[in-house]
Structure 1
Amino acid sequence: MPPTQTPHRTPLRRISQGSLFALSRSGAYPEAPHGLGFLEPAMSEFVDETEALQANIEGMKHLSDSLATFNESFASWLYIMNMNALTTDWPQAPSDASFVLAQKRAERDAQAAMEALRLQAEAEATRQAEAAATAALADKTAMTDATEADMTYANTTTTTASAQSSTKTGIPKKKGVKPKLTAKEKKERSIQIERIISCLPLEFRGSDPNLRRNMENVIEGLLNAPSQTVKLPDLITPPDLSQARVNKCLIALVNRKVVQKDNSTGTVLYKWQGIP
């Protein structure tokens, strides 16, 4: 007889290190009973972990519901946009109204360009007219200055001859006549005098009206003098301009460096310098 074959048997599995028996004998629970009493702390931990797992699963379910709601809403919006694109007409080719508007715009631009050219031509004509008027005024002023110079020379010659004759006859001579100024020159002269007086001390700027008038006369005398250089006696005109007042005005002008005092020749001369 053939030998009897031993049936296959599944070998017993060894008790793992995490078995209940090993857990009951571990050092974590040294006072655990030998029976089923060691299951109580293990089941407590199992219940806690199960509750945590249930909370996580509920959170994932809530997140899944939120995503499903968003996906449904977003899909609805995309569907509406697609339907709107399919049912709305978007004409891209220009119509007859577009050509009419383009023609009107071109006409308006042409009118604006013509208006700009007209304004430029008018401005050029105005500038040329002003330049011509300025040149004519300059010529007129030059002619007036030449005429006044001739008259001044004639008056000076007459005055010199009169002085010589008066000297011979014993009659005292008179001072020369001041040169005549045009309205424009008078205005410029007054502006220049006002600027100079505004730089002087307060008593010359209106605190004493007589002193201000004396200062204006002194400045006028300096500007009208030949080479704008004078001596102190040349500015004295009694009774308004006495020697003391003229000397006071000249000291103020010298201190402000409007006038330069020069005594290098042995004679004290006052030269006009202007505002530095």
Structure 2
Amino acid sequence: MPTTQTPHRTPLRRVSQGSLFALSRSGAYPDAPHGLGFLEPAMAEFVDETEVLQANVEGMKNLSHSLATFNESFASWLYIMNMNALTTDWPQAPTDASFEIAKRRAERDALAAMEALNAQAVAAREAQAAADRTAMTEATEAEITYTANTTTNTSGPIKSGGITKKKAGKPKLSAKEKKERSLEIEKIISCLPLEFRGSDPSLRRNMEAVIEGILYSPNRAVKLTDLIVPPDLNQARVNKCLIALVNRKVVQKNNSTGTVLYHWQGMS
């Protein structure tokens, strides 16, 4: 059964005389007072609703007052911040000139670092060139002396200071020792650049001769001139082989005594 919704009542609703009469005489309210006695509860409800309305109006008034106070305070704060920004200087704040100076400083530092690296590279190249010139000079002088001695003494042993010197020959090795020595030389050559490993057969033979010369020498320490065997193993070839061995740290170059000596170190 559908329910009927009671219409909303408001204390401001106008009630006609006919409605009052019908309300007072309605059978739905048999206990309703006669005459105007029914107005008392209606007026009491009206007073209550009026008080509620007054309380709501007072609340709206207080809210409006609070908003007005907040707006005034917030506007004052914004005005003060604006005036502070317009009247206060910030000397530590970066400007466009500051960024430009920082950029130039970074470029200057990078240029200085590059120049320092170039200077170090030039110094290293000059030191290497000086060492190479020293070795070349010593080798050239020794080669000239050796050539002069061999020219003067073509039919006999080399003489120095009136004393006859014979060049020491290779010590005799057993078959086992020769095989071990050959394996050791092969192991060393396999660690050298490609040109010494077979791309240039003559250079490989020169490297083997240089290694054997160092291994057969007393204390395994030789000068560059001790390894020169013209015409095949000249000074340039010997120097090239020694440089490769020094770079691989198989041989150590030492000139602390004033004479450049090459000491055998072997494979590490």
TM, length-normalised to structure 2? 0.40
TM, length-normalised to structure 1? 0.39
Greater length-normalized contact order (CA 8 Å, ≥ 6 residues apart): 2
Higher helix share: 1
